[in-house]
């Protein structure tokens, strides 16, 4: 018995992001309009007899062990169905790491989708969503994609009209900002945000690269440090030794899916 599926996993941007003070559980509730875009990781998932999880891929910036969200997603899925399989996943990594684009989350969502597809939808969609919420805040959205209003821990999701637009991304090459660091910066704020992204407001004074991109009329996605520009390509002078520039992208009206 051997089954294989290839899953397309889109990146996401936050068209806006409101962050609220920590709740009793220590979590920051959010309110954000999220949008999937045409920048994709690809997962090739092979399911066969055995009891092993093997990860490999094209990036030297991510772990291929139990620390990887794909590994955690496989483990949780198999625990939920109480079965054992050998699962091999090859990750074609195109979404920058620690960039505010949900690269890890969309891959994790792709694993849940892919395994369920290979096993003839053994788990109901609503139960897949419950599993996704246990793995991280963006996975529920990444399963669905399109244009969505996401609130609370990110798993309170409401449909919105699809927002069709073109965009470009710019990411400082030598700057990575963890989600934890971004929220810690938010916690130290002594004034209210006046930006569309509260985490951009919290981080802006700390990094010259973010100040530069902000001054060019761009907006940060998620916890950064990637910025996006809507409706046109980058037309200002930029040092491509210092910044990764990705032009000619567009919004897409889907989440993870088979290709």
Residue tagged active-site, from 41, 93, 107, 138: 138
Residue 12 falls in the annotated catalytic set? yes
Q: What is the DSSP string of the chain?
A: -EEEEEEEEEEEEEEEEEE----TTS---EEEEEEEEEEEEEEEEEEESSSEEEEEES-SSS-SSTTSHHHHHHHHHHHHHT---EEEEEEE--SPTTSSS-HHHHHHHHHHHHHHHHTTS-S-HHHHHHHHHHH-SSHHHHHH-SEEEEEETTTEEEE------EEEEEEETT----HHHHHHHHHT--S---SSBHHHHHHGGG-HHHHHHHHTT-EE-TTSS-EEEESS---S---TTTEEEEEEEEB-S--SEE-
Whether residue 107 lies in the annotated active site: no
Residues marked active site are found at 12, 138
């Amino acid at each position: 018995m051997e089954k294989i599926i290839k899953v397309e996993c889109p990146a996401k941007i936050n068209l806006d992001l409101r962050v609220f003070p920590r709740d009793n559980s220590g979590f920051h509730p959010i309110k954000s309009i999220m949008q999937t875009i045409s920048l994709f990781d690809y997962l090739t998932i092979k399911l066969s007899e055995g009891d092993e999880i093997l990860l490999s891929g094209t990036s030297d910036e991510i772990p291929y062990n139990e620390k990887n969200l794909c590994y955690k997603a496989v483990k949780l899925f198999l625990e939920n169905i109480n079965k054992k399989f050998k699962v091999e996943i090859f990750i074609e990594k195109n979404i920058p790491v620690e960039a505010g684009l949900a690269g890890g989350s969309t891959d994790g969502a792709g694993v849940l989708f892919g395994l369920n597809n290979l096993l003839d939808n053994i788990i109901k969609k609503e139960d897949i969503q419950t599993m996704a919420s246990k793995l991280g805040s963006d996975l529920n959205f990444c399963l669905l994609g399109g244009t969505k209003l996401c609130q609370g821990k990110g798993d309170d999701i409401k449909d919105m009209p699809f927002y069709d637009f073109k965009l470009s991304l710019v990411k400082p090459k030598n700057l990575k900002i963890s989600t934890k660091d971004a929220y810690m910066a938010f916690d130290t704020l002594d004034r209210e945000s006046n930006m569309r992204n509260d985490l951009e407001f919290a981080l802006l004074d700390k990094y010259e690269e973010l100040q530069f991109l902000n001054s060019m009329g761009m907006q940060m996605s998620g916890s950064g440090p990637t910025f996006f520009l809507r409706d046109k390509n980058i037309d200002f002078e930029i040092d491509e030794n210092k910044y990764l520039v990705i032009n000619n992208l567009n919004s897409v009206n889907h989440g993870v899916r088979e290709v």
